[in-house]
Homo-oligomer: A and B are copies of this chain.
Amino acid sequence: MFRDGERAIRKEWFVRLFASAVFLEEAMTVTLHVCITCRAGQTLGEGEVAPGKRLHEAILAAGIPDDVNVVPVECLSACSQGCSVALSAPGRWSYVYGRLTDAHAGDIVAGAAAYAAASDGLVPWRSRPEIFRKQSLARIPPIAVVPEAAE
């Protein structure tokens, strides 16, 4: 039997443990953000669909791997570089690619699948689609979570 205080502490642990488990499960998922507001420098006619939205639709139509989550976003702040997408996941390098059109949807999905298969997000150069090799706008290292606490 436990005292009430111990019960409360155990309950608190359960909550934190559950939160950790949710976090760790989600950490496995790769996110592909697609800027859907991008006009790629064009002036759109009445009823015309923005190139970014067309790219998003083409990516969805190309067939998304189970471990990749496609998320539309309003602006990736890379507006001078045409349509853009970003690949990210906890503990991995993040990448932003630009100068994309809906014709690139298949390559983007293939690149996202390769990224999802690399535990640190670092896909060997030759295994990246050409658009990922030539149209990188930026990459950001994974955020170091533990080093300072380990001192």
Q: Which residue numbers of A lie inside 8 Å of B, CB to CB?
A: 13, 16-17, 19-20, 22-23, 25-27, 29, 31, 33, 69, 71, 73, 75-78, 84, 86, 88-90, 94-96, 98, 136-141, 143-146, 148-149
Oligomeric state, in number of copies? 2
CB pair A146–B73 under 8 Å, yes or no, is: no
Q: A22-B146, A146-B26 are in contact. Are A141 and B33 (CB under 8 A)?
A: yes
Give CA–CA (A14, B33) in the complex, Å.
Answer: 36
Interchain CB contact under 8 A, A138 and B141 = no
- Contacts A77-B137, A94-B94, A96-B138 known; list 7 others, CB within 8 Å: A13-B13, A16-B16, A17-B17, A22-B149, A78-B138, A96-B137, A96-B140
Whether the Cβ atoms of A141 and B73 lie closer than 8 Å is yes
> Which of B22, B86, B139 is A76 in contact with, Cβ under 8 Å?
B139
**Beta-carbon nearest neighbor of A148 in chain B:** B26
Q: Cβ of A26: which chain B residues have Cβ within 8 Å of it?
A: 144-146, 148-149
Q: Which of A26, A89, A140 has the most C-beta atoms of chain B within 10 angstroms of its own C-beta?
A: A140
Look across to chain B and name the residue whose beta carbon is closest to the beta carbon of A27: B145
